[in-house]
Chain A
Amino acid sequence: MKVVVCVKQIPDPADPGALDPETNTLVRDQKLILDESDSYGVEMALQLVDTAGDGSVHLVSMAPDNQVTGLRTALAMGADSATLVSDEALKGSDALGTAKVLAAAIARSEPDLVLAATESSDGYTGTVPEMVAELLGLPSVTFAKAVAVDGGTAKVQRQTEAGYDDVECPLPAVVSVTAGVVEPRYPSFKGIMSAKSKPVDELGISDLGIDAGSVGWAGGSQEIVSVADAPTREAGEVIEDEGDAHERIVAFLDELKVL
């Protein structure tokens, strides 16, 4: 079974984010790391291939400046190979532009299953996997909290507002997974060493037959018209618990007349 996992390399969430004052897009010129949300998809793919008995896990990523640090992390977990699409023309791409690039890169591998995170940790539009499915003409199941493959069918528990649905979907298909679907493994020392020699195919958009006018700033059709500081919420009273803090809480609730 051939599984492709979409992975995003993002600025370290521990660093405060910033917008480029000229373009109003997130600054991404620092070293990028594997989005933690994607480690679940990578783990899920490794487990599914392991259960199937044979197959491969291939990564697809789009990132500026040929950055591969995040991809190497996923390769160190056990993925076999990767495609990285990097191109000046992709700067400023919105979700739809990104999905066009990922779909074209995924199509080259003719996978049985495409996995992605439900949403990235930096942009969190939560729309790219479903766009990729639409562009590839594939069925999709989003918000998966459990995934199994039985013959040519994916069996997915899909999170809903009230609980979950059991969904069956013939392969090939796109499935987006939530955090918590599996426990991602830590890369072993051996994994880290072998990741350095695993193949990473670096492509530009012309390799994918994508017209520069349909992606990036040129292809995007949304414009940020203003950026402003949000009104801040004033911090209130903060006290140290000296063994009687519960009394202060009860008094506060009493004042609000909610008891």
Chain B
Amino acid sequence: MGLEKIWVFGEANGDAVATITLEMLAKAREIADTVEVFMAADGDDHAEELGDHGAETVYSTGDLDGAMQGVSVASAVAEAIDSGDVDAPEAFLLGTTQDGRDVAARLSVKLNSPVITNIVDLVVDGDDLLGSEPIFGGATDVMTKNTSDNPGIFLVRPKSFAAEPVGGAEADVEDLAVGDLGAAGAARVVATFAEESVGPKLDEANIVVSGGRGLGDSEAYSMIEDLAKAVGAAPGASRAIVDAGWVPYSYQVGQTGKVVKPTVYIACGISGATQHLVGMKGSKNIIAINKDSEAPIFAVADLGIVGDVHKVLPKLIEALSG
């Protein structure tokens, strides 16, 4: 038994469909007969890739000319359903991203339907779709269903499912018209800045080396970069040192940052707050270096080193360089 139709919120990075979108498509295919995508982009640019991943139709607003995706997409979807132009799906899946959260929240008000958040798995139970959310840092799993008569809205965390092409035909492209948004639609993106990064991307790297407060000061973060370079890893960070301004937000691993699942995760001077564990405990192997033998990070580490990062890291970098 499955659902009849699921809509997946599509996001794109330039020409490529975002990984989170492809991950959700893989799960949606498994649990619904029909999978369609709605997105704020030119659908023709992505119809081939989305079709390859199992989407039959792409409903697209076209370029928003700087308008925010949240208000634009939610309004367009609600209007298309209200007017009868499209049949409402039984559920919407959106990624836990900046724009995914915005669209989900606005849609929740428009449809008077709850948003079920931080979902890492979806299970069909009779006529219901259940979302599984880890709480208390992943110690407890909670399954939640939508009890309203309206479509359920699920915010799915990245890396919950594995993206996989199925060789589907190019998706049909349909217009999703954005009507007059009034004052609510007045915010505009006037410029876009990309922070430069070197080496592999944090959420795609085979090895991730992260630093935390235990490094002591921002200069010591260079040890993380050196170690990352020596083993071909992506450098990451705990929320504490991002908040302190040592490294940009794009380095952050955790609840409010990126979810990573590399082959090896090396946590240096990170105590292992819930906020951080949620973003990395899916790693295949975890190495932790921390002065405090009681640090929670050791409870999830395959290899724990109770020691000073300032002593261990220089020797490790030397041993691995060259």
Residue ranges of A at the interface with B (Cβ–Cβ < 8 Å)? 16-17, 19, 24, 94-96, 99, 118-119, 124-131, 133-135, 137-143, 145, 158-170, 173, 178-180, 220-230, 232-233, 235-241, 243, 245-250, 252-253, 256, 258-259
Known pairs A169-B186, A228-B140. 10 more at Cβ < 8 A?
A124-B117, A126-B155, A142-B70, A145-B249, A163-B192, A168-B188, A221-B113, A229-B141, A245-B312, A253-B231
B136 and A126 within 8 A (CB): no
A239 and B306 within 8 A (CB): yes
| Chain A positions within 8 Å of B191 at CB level | 165-166
B218 in contact (CB, < 8 A): no
Q: Once bound together, how far apart are the Cα atoms of A142 and B68, in whole Å?
A: 10
B307 and A245 within 8 A (CB): yes
| Chain A positions within 8 Å of B319 at CB level | 246-247, 250
Residue ranges of B at the interface with A (Cβ–Cβ < 8 Å)? 13, 68, 70-71, 74, 96-98, 101-102, 104-106, 108-110, 112-118, 125, 128, 130, 134-136, 138-148, 150, 155, 182-195, 206-207, 231, 239, 242-245, 248-250, 255-256, 263-264, 266, 281, 285, 287, 289, 293, 298-308, 311-312, 315-316, 319-320
B307 and A240 within 8 A (CB): yes
B190 and A137 within 8 A (CB): no
B116 and A222 within 8 A (CB): yes
- A147 to chain B minimum Cβ distance, whole angstroms, is 13
Q: Is the interface of B mostly helix, strand, loop or mixed?
A: mixed
| Chain B positions within 8 Å of A237 at CB level | 302-304
User: Are A126 and B117 also in contact (CB < 8 A) when A160-B192, A236-B304 are?
Assistant: yes
User: Are A256 and B263 also in contact (CB < 8 A) when A19-B140, A126-B101, A223-B145 are?
Assistant: yes
- A133 to chain B minimum Cβ distance, whole angstroms, is 7
B141 and A236 within 8 A (CB): no
| A-B interface, 3 closest residue pairs, ranked by CB to CB distance from nearest | A241-B307, A221-B148, A130-B105
